[in-house]
Each structure stands twice: as structure tokens, then as C-alpha cells.
């Protein structure tokens, strides 16, 4: 079974031409967000450049690029924030960019994130186009661009890099290109812990396609080697880094979990998040925020249910389910959850399909209005509490 979809693969030139409108729209939305950020920052006397390159996680990635691993901060409450929590692919690329260009590692990180965000948009288009057609692909890309936390796509963070690798790995899976899918999944695993979601998608698709081929192809004609190689390659990135951290900390294979515990990160099935939401209902002003959180979680769950009902390809469902579960059921800082959900782009496909059925002028008006609101919100958010 060489292709999980029906449409033949376009040539590279044809693929670029087909994706061009979506990419142009994506870059326009991101430019709008950056202009809004620059204007808001100028009015507040802050630096938009600093906000994009040298705050929160971006600063930690730059420290890894500049100093290597081993840097940590000990907090008064006894917690230890170690840079071992940050996976290495983005810092490696920052260091490479600094070596090959006049850019600093921080600016190289911004360049990597910018290019990766465009690659991610193209990958999202390729997946959605393959499954639902080019109009749905354009709408999916623009919906991803106008998410309220879309400004993170333009920061020196790892979300854009991870989403690009994940999207193209999923596209390779849909095309039955198992080795490519495995290599990209391995790189995604070197980018963020949620790379496990890409590995799960590759494995699920490989196993189900093998079972399908065994039932439909003559004996002896079922392709095995490349599919098996893709499955072997997929987890190597994440497994390699986690094992290296365990060896460095002297705590064995579970050493990375101890590093995350120092950041108060863990997986508790959503218990801490549920307590956080429930705590919002103790007073009237915060109760509104609590209601908003409940509605937001319900919307995410509903979108996943719709994805299942619309019979999205299995690798997309597995990937989106893993990303969503890891984001919502982790005990990490709760303000990070919208950012952690950014890579879960298959959840947007039902909305993209609906927009694709609307007249182009109307869908453009809707997306344009949401893009403007997202740009303002991103500027406000980044100049305030921002993404931790």
C-alpha cells in the first residue's frame, strides 16, 4: 500500500504553485501580526525584537546554543530549572546559523522560526489539500495563522519548527513514504517532547497499512522493509535525547522526567488543570475566565469528535489526539496550554472544510476580521504576561 490517499502526488513545481495562495495569505497574516506588535511595543516603549527573541523559552534555547547544556537556575522554593528540559534541534540550528551568518544565535533562532513557520504552513496545506482539496488547504493554513496565540509562530520558539516537521512527516505517511516519514518524525522528536505524537502516528499508520496490504495483496508482494525502517527511525530522535539526559544526570532512562519535575511539569491526566479551572469559580471576575476555559476545552474536544466523525485518516487522528491529550493533561503552567496546542492543526480541518464551502468573499472577510483581532491580541499578550 504505497499511498493512503487517492490523489497522485504533484511535481515539486506544481506543488509550489498549488500552495502559493495559501503561503501568500499566511505570510500576510504573520506580517500583520508583526506590524501590530511593532506599533504596540513602540507605544509602550518596549522592544518588539526583544519580545520575539529573548524572553521565556527563547532565552533558554539561546543559552543552550551559546553555552551548551548544564545551565540551571535554583529557585527559592527549591525547584531547579535546568536547560536539559529543552530539546536540542532548535539550539543546534541557532548555533549553525550563528556560525554561517553574521547573526547572533538569538537572531538565528528568529530566522529559523520564520522559515520553519512557512514550511509548517506549506506542510499543513499539503496535508489538507491531499485529504480535502486545495480550498480546504488554504483555509486550514489561514486558520492556523489567525489563532489567538499565532504570534508564537513568529517567535524564536520551537513550535513552528516542530509543526513543520510533524506536518511533513504526516504528509509522507499519507503518501506511503515510510522512510521519509520516519526521518522527519525522528527530527520532530529532537525538537519537543510531544514528538511522541508523530511517532505514534507513523506507527499506527504503518501497522494498519500492513494489515490492509496483507488482506488485499497477493502473498509475497506486501512491502515490508521500508515500512519497518520508517517505524525504526521514527523514535530515534526523542529516545536518543532522553537516554542522553538520563546518562548525564546519572538517573537512568527516567532522568528526563526528573528534569521536567524541576519545572513542575508532568502528566497527571488533567487533574491539576481541572483543579485550576475549578478554582476560577470561587469569585465572580475569575468565574468568567473559568467559564471561558471550560468552553475552550469543550470546543477542542468537540473538534476532535468531529474529526473522528468525518473519518480523517488515522495518522491525523492519532497525532491530534496525542498532542491534545499531552497539552490538556499535563501539569505544566496553565497559561502555556494554548501554545502547546498550536501543533494540533488537524483539529482545524473541520472548520477549514466548512469555510471552503462558503463563498470566497465571505470566507475572506471572516478570516480577515479574525486576523486583525489575532494581531491585536498577540501584540497585547506579548507585551503583557505573554507565553511562558
The per-residue pLDDT for 11 is 74
Q: What is the rounded distance in angstroms from the CA atom of residue 230 to the CA atom of residue 181?
A: 6
Cα–Cα dist 283/349, whole Å: 37
Contact 191, 210 (CB under 8 A): no
Name the residue ranges covered by the structural domains of the chain: 12-383
Distance CA 22, CA 221 (A): 39
Helix axes 105-132, 349-356, angle to 10 degrees: 60
Question: Distance from first CA to last CA of the chain, Å, rounded?
Answer: 43
Residues 6+ apart with CB under 8 A from 361: none
Please give the grid coordinates belonging to residue 293.
476555559
Which letter, b or e, does each residue of 130-161 get, where b requires 16 or more Cβ atoms within 10 Å of its Cβ? Answer: bbbebbbbbbbbbbbbbbebbbbbbbbbbbbb
- Could you say which residues of the chain have pLDDT below 70? 1-8, 387-388
| Tally of CB atoms within 10 A around 72 | 13
Interacting residues of 62 by C-beta distance below 8 A, sequence separation 6+: 53, 54, 91, 94, 105, 106, 109, 156
Residue 388: predicted pLDDT: 64
Question: CA dist 60 to 81, 84, 303, Å?
Answer: 10, 10, 33
At 23 the pLDDT is 97
- Per-residue burial over 73-83, b if 16 or more Cβ lie within 10 Å, else e, is eeeeeeeebbb
- The per-residue pLDDT for range 367-386, each reduced to its tens digit, is 999 999 999 999 999 998 77
CA atoms within 13 A on the CB side of 382: 36
Check the CA dihedral 156-129-338-88 and report its sign.
Answer: negative
Amino acid at each position: 500500500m504505497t499511498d493512503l490517499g487517492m490523489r497522485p502526488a504533484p511535481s515539486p513545481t506544481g506543488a509550489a504553485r498549488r500552495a502559493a495562495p495559501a503561503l501568500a495569505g499566511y505570510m500576510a497574516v504573520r506580517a500583520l501580526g508583526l506590524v501590530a506588535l511593532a506599533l504596540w511595543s513602540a507605544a509602550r516603549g518596549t522592544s518588539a525584537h526583544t519580545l520575539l527573541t529573548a524572553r521565556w523559552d527563547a532565552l533558554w534555547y539561546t543559552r543552550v546554543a551559546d553555552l551548551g547544556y548544564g545551565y540551571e537556575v535554583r529557585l527559592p522554593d527549591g525547584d531547579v530549572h535546568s536547560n536539559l528540559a529543552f530539546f536540542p534541534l532548535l539550539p543546534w540550528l541557532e548555533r549553525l546559523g550563528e556560525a554561517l551568518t553574521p547573526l547572533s544565535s538569538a537572531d538565528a533562532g528568529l530566522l529559523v522560526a520564520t522559515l520553519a513557520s512557512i514550511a509548517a504552513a506549506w506542510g499543513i496545506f499539503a496535508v489538507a489539500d491531499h485529504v480535502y482539496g486545495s480550498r480546504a488547504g488554504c483555509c486550514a493554513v489561514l486558520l492556523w495563522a489567525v489563532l489567538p496565540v499565532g504570534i508564537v509562530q513568529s517567535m524564536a520558539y520551537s513550535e513552528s519548527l516542530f509543526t513543520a516537521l510533524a506536518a511533513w512527516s504526516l504528509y509522507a505517511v499519507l503518501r506511503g513514504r515510510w522512510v521519509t516519514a520516519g526521518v522527519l518524525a525522528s527530527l520532530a522528536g529532537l525538537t519537543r517532547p510531544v514528538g511522541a505524537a508523530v511517532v505514534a502516528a507513523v506507527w499506527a499508520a504503518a501497522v494498519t497499512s500492513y494489515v490492509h496490504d496483507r488482506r488485499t495483496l497477493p502473498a509475497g508482494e506486501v512491502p515490508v522493509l521500508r515500512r519497518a525502517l520508517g517505524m525504526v527511525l521514527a523514535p530515534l530522535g526523542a529516545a536518543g535525547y532522553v537516554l542522553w539526559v538520563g546518562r548525564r544526570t546519572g538517573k537512568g532512562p527516567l532522568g528526563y522526567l526528573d528534569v521536567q519535575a524541576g519545572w513542575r511539569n508532568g502528566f497527571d491526566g488533567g487533574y491539576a488543570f481541572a483543579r485550576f479551572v475549578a478554582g476560577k469559580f470561587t469569585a465572580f471576575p475569575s468565574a468568567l475566565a473559568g467559564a471561558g476555559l471550560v468552553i475552550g476545552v469543550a470546543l477542542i474536544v468537540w473538534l476532535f469528535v468531529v474529526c473522528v466523525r468525518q473519518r480523517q485518516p488515522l495518522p491525523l487522528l492519532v497525532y491530534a489526539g496525542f498532542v491534545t491529550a499531552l497539552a490538556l493533561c499535563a501539569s505544566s503552567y496553565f497559561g502555556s496550554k494554548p501554545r502547546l496546542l498550536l501543533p494540533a492543526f488537524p483539529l482545524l480541518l473541520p472548520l477549514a472544510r466548512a469555510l471552503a464551502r462558503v463563498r470566497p468573499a465571505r470566507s475572506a472577510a471572516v478570516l480577515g476580521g479574525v486576523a486583525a483581532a489575532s494581531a491585536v491580541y498577540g501584540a497585547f499578550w506579548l507585551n503583557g504576561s505573554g507565553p511562558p
